[in-house]
Each structure stands twice: as structure tokens, then as C-alpha cells.
A and B are shown apart, each in its own frame.
Chain A
């Protein structure tokens, strides 16, 4: 029983990080209407900025989080202005090629500037944990989970309680209609894409604290984020939460209870995508 509860807890904590990465991607897909294949690379930038702040400035990665988020928001907004906006009306394949190329560019820039080594940060709370009877909850994972919950709640509040959020939702529903009623669609896209990148960077800071920074660290999480937004339904922000929990807990259960489950964990999200698509097509056919 203890192992089962610990497994559920492990999966739940992991899902916080997944939700944070996926919510940014869902925002880009839902509002801007672009599948950003470079999302993992914005996470990587966040991880390296946190690592740099820790190693060179002695700043705790979590304290550097607001600055990193703002910096990567700016990088994202600039990326939108320079490249993304020019392909928004282009065929989807062109959009995918652009963001895919952007991802390769950013990854190789990181390789050129920083090399391929794995970089780790040291924090006083890295090995800390909270005991709940025989169960243990890792301190950094709990912080990451809490932070993800707060940020996602904030994002939800912005989307449903502010003018900008209403504009985002309006643009997501109907670009042309939004333009007709006077919404500056280009500005909304710029902010949404910037926030999407900023969220990826926040997840990157947490990844640097929990794991490591490396030029390829974003790939693993970007793949999982894609699985989550497919499960949630493209652009469905609220669905991201439960989809993240489903993925995190499924992975943990497979890793614990399936023989050789550690080797199968990467297959879990493919299986979930497959099951979701089959379920959707079945429901659509009815």
C-alpha cells in the first residue's frame, strides 16, 4: 500500500512540471494558432539562465525565476515579431518548418556558446523532503508543483478575469471577428506567444533546479507537452491540468508496476495520444 501511495504521489508531483510546460504550449496553439516545435528550446534557455544566475551570480534559481520569465518573454516576443507573425497565414507545414528550424537554431546556438556538457546547480534544499508517515515528498518537487499550481491559477485568472484574457479568448475563437470589433490581434498574439515562452522558461528554471541544464534538455519535456495538449484537446488550457495528471500518474504506475517499466515510460505518452485520438474519432463518429 505504501508503495502504491508513494507511486501516486510521485506521479502527481511530476505532473506539476508537465502542466507548466504544456500550458505554455497550449497557449501558443490555442491563441496564436501555431504549433511551436521550439517550445522545448525556450525551456532550455530558461534552464541555462537559471544555471548561469546560480553559478556566476550566486543567485538561487528560484529567486532568479521572475527575471528569467521576463527575459524569455522578451525573447519570445522578439521571435514572434521577427519570424512567427510572417507565417501565421501561411500553410501549416510552413509554420511547422519555421518553428522546427527555430528549435534547431536555438539548440545549436546553445551548443556553440556553452558546449554539450550537462550543467547542474547546487541548492540547499535539493535533497530536502517532507515526511508524511512513511511517504516522502521531495522539497524541490513540491515547490515546483506549488509554483506550477500558482502560475496556472494566475494564468487562468488572467484569461477569464481580465480584458487582455478576454481578448485572447476572443482572438482564439475568431481572429477576423476580433479584428472587426477593434481588438489589436497582432498585439494579442505577441503577448500570448511571449507568455507561452515565458512559461516554458519558468519550467526550465524548475528543470535546472530538479535535474540539469543542457542544450537538449527541452526535448523530453516538449514531447510530453505535445502529448498533453493532444489529450487535453488543442488549445484547451483547463484540460491541460487533468491531462498532465493522467500522464504523470500513468508513467509512475507503469514504472513501478510493469516489469521493465522504466524502459516503457516513454511509450506511455504515445499510448495516451493513440488512445485519445481513437476515443475522439469514435466519439466524433457517433
Chain B
């Protein structure tokens, strides 16, 4: 009896039986700003979940791993979480390249994945037949739908006609670039430049010279946070005469908004701390209380929503059975800082969360990100430099 009691106490103390969620994030490398923001979102959600009784009567257990923003590192980290640490569910995932890399082992082990990032269509192709893949972040064609809508508005209101595109040569920037160019053309734009660059190289001189020769109205770049300041610097130094510089990195460099070179640069975000929605205000207050500051990176609330909805689904399912949890997660209908979250089919996957309608367009104005489009959400008029 004593032995059984002791075993029970030891089990309880060791957390055995607790639901374990593995979280794979780029805590270092090119995607680290998003990864670090997401980590904070997960930690905040974990606090709230465990304060309100945990999952299946036990405190939820998170097991973080760093994919280093590198597919080569992501695969062993993912396999270790699934096979050695034996996590019940996998969450996280920011980069498309790392997500493609782990798609093989994920399907091999039938891993349940509640995934927050990876917007590139090849990721959608890779997970199209995976029945436990829940994708929260909009796919790139949803992002593009939102961008095209904004650019059409600029065409109507500012006469924007010529677009120069600069894109990083990994899957994030390159996948679907031909479709992007074709759709811009179909919408009546002239794509006057479409150039690749190496993310993190910082060498944008020739690219900006080419853009200058092409005389664009909009300079549109797809890359990572490491590219933002070198690109903005080069554009300023070469005096590129352009109506709008528009970038879509997953995150922006820390403190970028305070740099004068960031002024008037526009971008895309699922969320901004100034969002007036009740769920967003609650998130902002809780985040400030826990971390003493505020982030502008949408991966923080996205990770928060990701873990909260996964935990709620496990609780509703009453077990860690993947089919039951998938069925419950698929029924999610909850308010979030981004608006209501429900899952529906995308072009190829079964469970897609946020879509084109969730995107906001902002501009760096006066040291912060200010929503400028859709017009009904605009807090200041946008600045057009031409």
C-alpha cells in the first residue's frame, strides 16, 4: 500500500500523465523575432490554462525546441519531440522551409499538428493529405488576396500602376511568385521588376539600382526581418522615388519603428496592439502584466490563441485521442484578438483557421505601426510619397 502511495505521489510530482505539447519554433536565426514572440504567447496561454485547472485535470506541459530557422535542424528536433519526448500534440511552426522539411516525419508518425505559421503553398501541398493538420495562419494566397485588394485601392486612389517586386529566394519568398506576378498583371498593374535576393546578405545596392531604373510606384518586398533595415537604408541612400514601400516579413526587427528610415514603410499584420476588439484588449492587458512590455508581433497572440484552443479541444474531447481532439478542434468557434476563429477548408487542407479578411495593412508612422487599410479600420490617413 505504502509502495503504491509512494508511486502515486512520485507520478504526480513527475507530471506523468500530464498532456504534453511539443512546440517547435525558430528561437534563433532568420525567423527568431516571430519565434520569440510566439514563445511569449505560448507561455502566457500556458499560465492561463494551468491557472484555470490545466488539461484533463493535470497541469499542461510544454516542451519547447528551437529549429534555428533551419530545415536541417528542424527535422531532428521534431523527431526528438515526437519519438523521445513522446509529446501528445505538436504546436508552433513559423517558417515554411522548416515546415516542409518536417512534413515527412509528421505524416510518418501521424503527428497531431496545430500549426501557427508556414504560409507558403508548398506547405499546404505537403500537408494536404494529413488528417491531423490544423493551420491557423492564412496561406500565402490569402495574404496575396489582402495585398491585391490594398494595391487596387492604391491604383484607384493614387494612380499606382507600376510594381517592383523583390523576394527572398527561399520558399517563403519564391513559392508562388509567378502566380503573384500573373495576378498583378491580370489586375491591370505593370510588374516592372521581379528580382530575387539572399535573405540576411544585406547587399541590396544592385537590386535598388535596378528598381530605380524601373521607376515603380510601389516597391513590394517579401523577405525576413534581417532584410528590413538594410533595404530601407539602401532605398533612402539611392533616393528611390516611390509612392509606397510595402514589405511582408513575418516580423520586423526589434526597434525598427524608432528608426527614421522606417517612416512610411507599410506592411501586413494579422493584429496590432491598438486593435479595439475586446479579446485583443484582454490579451494586451495580460501580456503587459506578465512581461512588463508589449509586442507588436502578431505571432504572440497567434500562439496564444493556438494553445488556448488546442487545450480547450482536448478538454472537450476528454482524452488525448487524436481523432476525438481533431473533431473537437474542428468545432472551434471562439472570439480571438484577430476576430472569430472557426476552421474550414482551404484550397487543399481540411482545417484552415484565419483567412484573407483577417489581415490589416499598417504604416510605420511616428514610432509605431498604425492601421491604414481597410479604410474602416484606419486610425490615420496613409502617407503616399509620390
A interface vs B, CB < 8 Å?
Answer: 2-3, 6-7, 10-11, 13-14, 111, 115-120, 122, 126-129, 131, 136-141, 207, 210-212, 214-217, 220, 251-253, 255-256, 260-263, 265-266
How far is B258's CA from A119's CA once the two chains are assembled, in angstroms? 12
A13 close to B237 (CB less than 8 A) = no
Task: Please provide the 10 A-B residue pairs with the shortest distance between their CB atoms, ordered closest to farther.
Answer: A10-B205, A127-B236, A116-B28, A116-B32, A138-B237, A255-B206, A263-B196, A262-B197, A211-B202, A263-B169
Residues from chain B with a CB closer than 8 A to the CB of A131 are 239
Give B207-227 interface residues, CB cut-off 8 Å to A.
Answer: 207, 209-210, 212-213, 225-226
A3 close to B213 (CB less than 8 A) = yes
Contact residue range for chain B? 35 or more
Residues from chain A with a CB closer than 8 A to the CB of B213 are 2-3
B35 at the interface (CB under 8 A from A): yes
B374 at the interface (CB under 8 A from A): no
A129 close to B238 (CB less than 8 A) = yes
B196 close to A262 (CB less than 8 A) = yes
A211 is contacted by which of B32, B197, B229, B258 (Cβ under 8 Å)? B229
Query: How many whole Å from B264's CB to the nearest CB in chain A?
Result: 12
A212 close to B258 (CB less than 8 A) = no
A265 is contacted by which of B203, B210, B260 (Cβ under 8 Å)? B203
A-B contact pairs, 21 of them (CB 8 A): A3-B209, A6-B212, A10-B209, A111-B28, A116-B29, A117-B33, A127-B232, A127-B261, A129-B239, A136-B237, A140-B237, A210-B202, A211-B202, A212-B202, A212-B230, A215-B28, A216-B200, A252-B205, A255-B206, A262-B197, A262-B198
B interface vs A, CB < 8 Å?
Answer: 26-29, 32-33, 35-36, 166, 169, 195-198, 200-203, 205-207, 209-210, 212-213, 225-226, 229-230, 232-234, 236-239, 253-256, 258-261
Find the A residue at minimum CB distance from B197.
A262
Find the A residue at minimum CB distance from B174.
A263
Residues from chain A with a CB closer than 8 A to the CB of B196 are 260-263
Residues from chain B with a CB closer than 8 A to the CB of A260 are 169, 195-196
Query: How many whole Å from B131's CB to the nearest CB in chain A?
Result: 33
- The secondary-structure label for the interface of chain A is helix
Residues from chain A with a CB closer than 8 A to the CB of B225 are 118
Q: A10-B209, A117-B36, A214-B226 are in contact. Are A138 and B238 (CB under 8 A)?
A: yes
Other 7 A-B pairs with CB < 8 A, given A10-B205, A260-B196, A262-B206 = A2-B213, A138-B205, A139-B237, A140-B233, A211-B230, A212-B230, A265-B203
Q: A127-B233, A262-B197 are in contact. Are A118 and B226 (CB under 8 A)?
A: yes
A256 close to B209 (CB less than 8 A) = yes
B197 close to A136 (CB less than 8 A) = no
